[in-house]
Amino acid sequence: MIGIIPSVLERSPGLIDLTIRNTSATHYRISAHRTLNDAHIGGTTLFTIQKNTSFRSRTLRQKGLGLTMDSNRGLTRMVFDLKDYADGGGGTAATVPMDEEILYLRVEESMDEEVSWLAAGPIVVIPPAGFYRTPNPALVLAGTAPTDGGSTSIGNPASSAAMHIIFPKFTVDISVRNHGTAGADAGDIWYSVGHNHPVGRLEADDWWFGGPGGYRELLLEGSNAAADFSINMGVASRM
């Protein structure tokens, strides 16, 4: 999966500040969800922004917040408050998370003035406000790796069906568990540490320990069937 990965400049209470380095697109559409699985399916549209412009959500404009004197040359800049898009108060029916939850965000590109949209980019994990007040904080993610339909094999890159996750910063340690039961439908999981990197196999009801190396992304897909997983990691607070 190839697509836009925005840079997170700031995450503070009531404020998320992102930039996109301009591409040949005319517009960008920002979508998000409160779960990895639903973000992978598509998420909920928050807003659309024209390339090479700036955007502030309603509350920030009303409060005069999110203004910057930084140069945005070659960049598309967006600053928003999650409360402006809340749709359920944190209940199970909500799609947009509250400020104290993790946000799973994706970006789509339009090359023809919003007439059509390319496939969404990877899922960018944006932690809650205050996450980095703890040195090298811990982060737990969980979801279901989509099936590869039998199209992936050892040593080759992951298929286009893979769930592509971008971590907020490099990890200081990481482990992934396949929650499937050996012999059950959940099956094995293919994993890769980057787009175009070869995949390894994580058998059902087993762990993968990434050791002390720094990882910024992970691609996961089930071998012939969807497979539940969880990720435990320590995230570098300074990098």
Between CA 138 and CA 96 the distance in angstroms is 23
Chain-centroid distance of CA 214 in Å reads 17
- What are the C-alpha distances in Å from 140 to residues 44, 46, 74, 118, 156? 22, 25, 34, 30, 27
For residue 135, what pLDDT is reported? 85
Which residue, 115, 120, 114, 142, is CA-closest to 228? 142
- 117 in Cβ contact with 110 (< 8 Å): yes
For residue 67, what pLDDT is reported? 74
Tokens 């697109």 locate to: 25
For residue 73, what pLDDT is reported? 86
**Pair type for strands 54-56 and 7-12:** unpaired
Q: Which residues pair with residue 32 across a beta bridge?
A: 44, 105
For residue 130, what pLDDT is reported? 86
Give me the tens of pLDDT residue by residue for the chain, a chain 239 residues long: 578 999 999 999 999 999 999 999 999 999 999 999 999 998 899 999 999 999 999 999 998 887 776 768 899 999 999 999 988 655 556 799 989 999 999 999 999 999 999 999 999 999 998 888 888 899 999 999 999 988 999 999 999 999 999 999 999 999 999 998 765 555 899 999 998 899 999 999 899 998 777 999 999 999 989 999 999 999 987 64
Helix (H) or strand (E) holding 227: strand 227-235
Tokens 């539940």 locate to: 228
The number of beta carbons lying within 10 Å of the beta carbon of residue 165 is 21
Task: Kindly state the tokens that stand for 158.
Answer: 């992951």
Decide if domain 138-235 falls under CATH 2.60.120.10. Answer: yes
> The whole model's pTM is what?
0.92
Which residue, 104, 5, 2, 107, is CA-closest to 48? 107
For residue 211, what pLDDT is reported? 74
Every domain of the chain and the residues it spans: 7-129, 138-235
For residue 87, what pLDDT is reported? 80
For residue 121, what pLDDT is reported? 95
Tokens 């396949």 locate to: 178
For residue 237, what pLDDT is reported? 79
CATH fold group of domain 7-129: Immunoglobulin-like (2.60.40)
